[in-house]
Amino acid sequence: MLLKLITIILLSYFLGGFTAAYYVTKWMSGRDIRKLGSGNAGAKNAGRQLGKKGLFYTLLLDIAKVIIALYITTIFFPQNEIMLLISTFFLLMGHILPMQLGFKGGKGVVVFLASTLFLVPIAIPVLGIGFGIGYLFIRKFTIAGLISMASIPITAWIVEEYYVAIGLFILLLIVVHQHIKRK
């Protein structure tokens, strides 16, 4: 049990640390995304620097790393949402603080959303509706997105066990903190 837990933690952190925006930008332009645009190693900055193709590859790889890690977690710990939340936490930490990039990664939005898609799929359409309504009134993509992400733990509270909602709320706070800290 302990060895499996350690394996999941390390696997999640190191997969999370594969910060796709950095590697896609390196591959497509030979440059370091952390020295371009906003300086953030995330999908939004990659999209701004590389266009739709770069954004697509970044999203695809970031989503894939989450799905792979969480799928492996379900193999090691079948039907164990606590272990999925632990895996998600370390995916997020690896993405935000990747060791090989000097602990300077992305803000974690795609990792959080992909994890939500795996854990509570119904929360994604709820988020989409909330984002659409929020954007109509606010007209600011990031603010509408962050506000609508608050629907994720609320949806989880309604359709899942309370601890999944609490775990997702904590992860949401980490993502929001990253946005506030890196403005």
Q: Token match 């994604």: residue?
A: 124
pLDDT in tens, 17-53: 999 999 999 999 999 999 999 999 999 999 999 999 9
CB atoms within 10 A of CB 63: 19
CB atoms within 10 A of CB 82: 12
| Maximum CA extent, the chain | 50
What SS3 class is residue 151?
helix
Tokens read off for 153: 């733990």
Provide the pLDDT for residue 18: 96
Asked if residue 90 lies in contact with residue 18, where contact means CB atoms within 8 angstroms, the answer is: no
pLDDT in tens, 88-116: 999 999 999 999 999 999 999 999 999 99
Residue 182 or residue 86, greater confidence: 86
The b/e string for 91-116 (b: 16+ C-beta within 10 A; e otherwise) is bbbbbbbbeebeeebbbbbbbbbbbb
Amino acid identity of 117? L
For residue 84, which of 168, 182, 150, 170 has the smallest C-alpha distance? 168
pLDDT in tens, 166-180: 999 999 999 999 988
* pLDDT confidence bin for 1, thresholds 50/70/90: confident
Number of folded domains that form the chain: 1
For residue 107, which of 25, 175, 183, 16 has the smallest C-alpha distance? 175
> In which domain, by residue range, is 149 found?
2-181
Amino acid identity of 122? I
* pLDDT confidence bin for 183, thresholds 50/70/90: low
pLDDT exceeds cutoff 80 at 152: yes
Provide the pLDDT for residue 181: 81
| High-pLDDT (> 90) share of the chain, % | 90
* pLDDT confidence bin for 136, thresholds 50/70/90: very high
Provide the pLDDT for residue 146: 86
- How many angstroms separate the CA atoms of 127 and 154, rounded? 10
Provide the pLDDT for residue 142: 83
Provide the pLDDT for residue 83: 97
Tokens read off for 167: 């775990």
What SS3 class is residue 13?
helix
- How many angstroms separate the CA atoms of 72 and 87, rounded? 10
| Mean pLDDT confidence for 59-79 | 97
Global confidence as pTM: 0.94
